Each structure stands twice: as structure tokens, then as C-alpha cells.
Amino acid sequence: MKITKMQGLGNDYIYVNCFEETVKDPVTLAQKISDRHFGVGSDGLVLIMPCEEADFRMRMFNADGSEAEMCGNASRCVAKYIHDRGLSNKEEISLMTGAGIKILKLNVKDGVTESVRVDMGEPELEGLKIPVNVNANPVIGAPVEALGREYRMTCVSMGNPHAVIFVDDADSFDVHGVGASIEVNPLFPRKTNVELVTVKDRTHLRMRVWERGSGETLACGTGACATLVATVLNGLCERKAVLELNGGPLTVEWDAETNHVFQEGPAAFVFDTEYEE
């Protein structure tokens, strides 16, 4: 099976062109192919598929095989793959995801996609719809316990659930211990992604992320969007900011008129190869 590895700010996935290939068991394939010792190594598996309701469809599976609703970094890579590999010459693409249709605008120079701006839609702030078992709208400063300590979280869904926690120093914080604990906290019926955030100033945030089903990753597009929304809700930053992720900077904006969140950043090919199932 022909596969392509791509990365957006170090958030790496294996991409399969399902116009040419057939994936019968994506759950098992995601688990095997993502293994960084016995497989190819990635944060998960992304399928690029035909769609009647949009230009294309994206299905994505975390490294543990669980299917995720949406991934901002993966959607940018999908847009680059579609354009640069000749599946479409459009510079604006509609993409069906598990969180609905997203609009991707490509910045193309000399036939090559340099960056992609993704309309991530409106954030969901109602607790029970995120979902988190906190009956509030929005969920700001809700208590959550991890490793014997209580933290305060702001919860947002960008098609998938996020718990954003502000800390003094994200770089030295125990993301692995606290993130893994909160991910499976009973407050979250579908588990959750966890963002640990330090506010540098009103237009710069430092974020590390523990992704549901994958562990700490170098970047998370939906997490960056959720973080900006949460930080604005807490009055700590402007509606447009640069988020410093482990894999690099991502620009995020929460538009006041449309209530939509936009993220813009790079996408890159790593290699093409064949994988023997």
C-alpha cells in the first residue's frame, strides 16, 4: 500500500490516498503503522477520501486506533496533499470531517502550497455538549483533580473536547503525568485533550498538549484554537495571537463577527513509501 508521511509543526501522520488505495481496517492499521519501533512512526493515520457533500473527506485515527473528530494540523496537510499531488487545482477546498465541513484556504506560490488557513467553525462552550460533566456555559475555572492536586480548567470543543489549564511554566510542567490523568477523568465521557498554557503576553501564548489517544505531541491545531478561545474567555489575551507549540508557531484568530476560529500554519511532506500490511 502506498503511503505518505506528512507533518504540520511536527504533528506527524501517515496519509493514505483512498482514491487509489483501500483500507479495510483503519483501527488496526493506525495502531500498527503509528508504532515508532515496529511501524513507520506517527501520531496516527489519516485517510483522504471521496465525498458527496464536500470536495473531499478526511477520516483520522489516533495512534491507539481511536477515531478523532477533527485535527487542525492534519487538515492542513490534507489540503497540501490534495493540491500539490494534483487531486484538485482549487485554492479553496471544502473538507468533510467528523466535526462537519471545514473550509481550507491555500496559500500557493509557484504551484506549491506554502501554508493553509483553516476555518475551524464556532467553538462549543456549553459543558454538556463539549462534552464535560459540568452543567455550565461557558465552563471557566472548573475544578479537576490530577495526581492528588486540584487544577482549574476552561473547557472548549473545537469538534473534539479540550481542557485548558493555565500554568506558570508550561516548559517545566508535568504534562505527561497530569495530561494522562485528566484525559481519562470521569468528568469527560469521551476523554479529553489537555492543554497546559503559559500566557507570555496578550498576543503570545506558550502551549503544550497531551492529545487524547496519542500522548504528548509537538502540535495540536484544535488544541491551539481551544486554547485561544479559553484564554480570551479568561480575559488574558486578544482575539488573535501566536501560539508557541513544541513544533513551532501557529497563528490563531477568533473572529468576533462570525464567531468562527481560524488557524493558519504550514504543512510539509516527509516521505512517500510502500507499507506492507
Q: What is the pLDDT of residues 241-264, one digit of tens each?
A: 999 999 999 999 999 999 999 999
User: pLDDT at residue 211 above 90?
Assistant: yes
Q: What is the pLDDT of residues 76-115, one digit of tens each?
A: 999 999 999 999 999 999 999 999 999 999 999 999 999 9
Q: Which residue in the block uniquely carries the three cell numbers 465525498?
A: 51
Catalytic annotation, residues:
71, 220
Share of the chain above pLDDT 90, in %: 99
Q: What is the pLDDT of residues 123-179, one digit of tens each?
A: 999 999 999 999 999 999 999 999 999 999 999 999 999 999 999 999 999 999 999
Domains of the chain listed by start with CATH number: 2-120+265-274 (3.10.310.10), 127-259 (3.10.310.10)
pTM: 0.92
